[in-house]
A = this chain, B = another copy of it.
Amino acid sequence: MNDIVVQKYGGSSLADSDKIKRVAQKIRNRVSEGYKLVVIVSAMGETTNRLIELAKEVSSKPHPRELDMLLTTGEQVSAALLSMSLNDLKVETKSLNAFQAGIFTSSNFSEARIQKFKVEKILKLLEDHDVLVITGFQGITKEGDLTTLGRGGSDISAVALSAAVGTHCEIYSDFPGIFTFDPRLHRNAKKLKYVTYDEILEMASLGARVLHSRAVEIAKKYDVKIYCASTFSEEEGTYVVADNIEQPVVTGMSVMENQTQVTIANLPLNYSLVYKIFDEMAQKAFNVDMISIISINNKLNISFTIIEEEMENFDRYLKEALSSFDEISVNYEHGYVKLSVVGIGMRNEKGVASRFFKSLRDIPIKMVTTSEIKISCLIEKEYMKKATDALIKEFDL
């Protein structure tokens, strides 16, 4: 049989009938090069959001099972339409929903995990079809309930299916690839030819608009090569791989605005209390980042960042959690920017931190955290332009 390729098309690439026809054309061209394709589709344009709106209109708290039952229709619509359009181009094709493709998942609605595909059925169907169009983002439990995989779910479907079939995965969207930093920030952002799984996992914002990080985790685990490119352009995209053969020291930079620094001073030297605080916040789904803890005079001083708009809720929960300790002071400082650079090359290259600090030597840094392949710092917003310019220059981003 011909080589099999898995492709995934995002919702904006299928937003209207004209785009669907252009995607069909693109797929037909690939078939005529001698490939068999499994195509994973998202819901058209804003469909999923529109369905969620409808759900909120009929129910104050939509039942998770029923919400998944509702949302899965979005991908079925695009799969059927794309398959029709392919049929018109004389491509032998068939659309498959989660029941038909046998996409089995765990039963936690709205964030189910894929367990297996009916791979034999898919391979069998590929013997007499050029293309199978499969609904992304969804699965079924063994009891036959429909589930969805959460945000970025279609990426996960595509990568998991690639792993199951043993082939690589092409992710098409409106974006021509993965950049050294967010092009909205600075027009000089460079498109990366290669980026590693670890780099994307350390810095989700690099791939945020192109590829969901859970999909990258699966790709890393099963060694699935991913190619991200623009649907409607021939421009070369970005390969997401295990090792970056180009190995630049720093691959990319990310900037997150609206950070609030939280400082909790005078906590008793009791790490189970620290655990309790962070566990509570995690359960409440706050994004706590850049945690650093220092003990001074037998007291713990904790500092970390949250997103500015979460502050009010956060403060309420924190006050509850700390209500029995009246010496403790909590302080919030707003308007900060988190700036990070990431690069798999840091693992081997010394001196990245010193180059980082050298470039930012004129800027007051509020906080620093590091990982094996990432350095992050917190600065005031007024220095953002100056800092990013310096880092872009220093690391040739």
Contacts and interface: CB of A to CB of B under 8 A. Distances in A.
Interface of A: 17-18, 20-21, 24, 51, 54-55, 57-63, 65-67, 69-70, 72-73, 76-77, 79-85, 87-88, 94-95, 97, 99-100, 144-146
A66 B51 contact: no
A24 B144 CA distance: 25
A58 B144 CA distance: 31
B83 A76 contact: no
B95 A66 contact: yes
Give the interface centre of A24, A72, A77, A95 by most chain B CB atoms within 10 Å.
A77
A159 to B, nearest CB: 24
Given A73-B73, A73-B77, A66 B83 contact: yes
Contacts of A24: 58
B97 A80 contact: no
Contact of A88 (B60, B73, B83): B60
A148 to B, nearest CB: 12
Given A55-B81, A99-B99, A144-B100, A88 B69 contact: no
A221 to B, nearest CB: 30
Contacts of A55: 80-81, 84
Contact of A84 (B20, B67, B73): B67
10 contacts: A58-B82, A59-B87, A66-B81, A66-B84, A66-B87, A69-B97, A70-B80, A72-B76, A73-B80, A100-B144
